[in-house]
Amino acid sequence: MKDLGFHSEIIWLDYDSFQQNRNENVGYHLDQRPIELLFKIGLINLDKPAGPTSHDVVATVKKILEVKKAGHSGTLDPNVSGILPIGLNNATKILHTFHLIPKNYVCNMEVHDKTKDVDWEEYFQEFTGLIYQYPPLESNVKRRLRKRTIYSLEFLEKSLSEVLFTVECEAGTYIRTLCIDLGRASGVGAHMRELRRIKTGPFDETSRVTLHNLFDAYMDYKETGDEKGLRNTILPIEFGTSHLPELVVKNSAVWNLCHGVRLGTSGILGFSQNINQEKIVAVKTAKGELIGLGTLLIPASDLQKEHHSAFKIDSVIMPQDLYPR
């Protein structure tokens, strides 16, 4: 269903009604969304350069695009480069869900004792899985012991003084601390020399854009009205919801949801197989448009039964009057 704007397997309660709702002349198919709406609910897969802070980069994006509000997910230290997802205006409301997504990095670690030959793959195996960390002194968070999961550590290459490796880890893992702990465990001492984030869920280096790309695209739009560059630069907000279970609703329910009314099962067209009461749910139209984020109020097994209050929207993303009452 990816071509329809949905990212997970959907159980359709009435597929004919879904097709009928999808073809109604309301809302927008994702590839036909007006550029003005992208400014309100768009995402940018920004390639942050080493040097500025994440806050500085967001301020630059706001200045370039002349938007009032923007935010980022997953702070990168000033000397770290790589993938920094940025949300524009209402899209900032989904950024907190990115803490559920694993992060991928490539790290260059400097070794202190260059006289010893270390089998790094052995130590990487030791540090794969659940680990315990204290945040580094440089961080601005409380220094308490934390549990984090390392999904994979892959050795790439080494010299006498440096080790290059990739890591896939839980959000909130400190790679700087990981390098120090690897150095202690191996007995040679080590610290992080260079770090680059190469992936945050669906955001990877294949769709990354730089601040220069963003500036050039916006200037083309302002000076000539050419939207192509911006459409290649600003992603639909739905791109950032692939990690969330989905609820697809009838067009007649959209206005009510946008105004905080709870949804009954009669307004549901379909739902993800992995939906449950414990997860944040992305509620969408038949065209695949994100309405907002919410909470399932009944067990998933009851979604095919009649309930007057089955879903509560917690955060509205879509402009409230895009769909008629």
Annotated catalytic residues are 77
DSSP at 39: H
Distance CA 120, CA 158 (A): 9
**Residue 74 one-letter amino acid:** G
What is the C-alpha to C-alpha distance for residues 28 and 219, in angstroms, rounded to an integer?
26
Query: String of b and e for 276-299 (b: at least 16 CB within 10 Å)?
Result: eeebbbbbbbbbbbbbbbbebeee
Q: What is the CA radius of gyration of the chain?
A: 22
Measure the CA–CA gap between 111 and 188, rounded to whole angstroms. Answer: 7
Q: Tell which residue, 265, 266, 286, has the closest CA to residue 275.
A: 265
Contacts 24+ apart (CB under 8 A), 230-233: 230/35, 230/38, 231/35, 231/38, 233/44, 233/209
Residue 25, φ and ψ in degrees, nearest 5:
-85, 60
Q: How many CB atoms lie within 10 A of CB 108?
A: 15
Least Cα distance to 182 among 237, 217, 222, 133 occurs for 133
CB 93 within 8 A of CB 315: yes
Identify which of 238, 207, 234, 222 has the alpha carbon closest to the alpha carbon of residue 27: 238
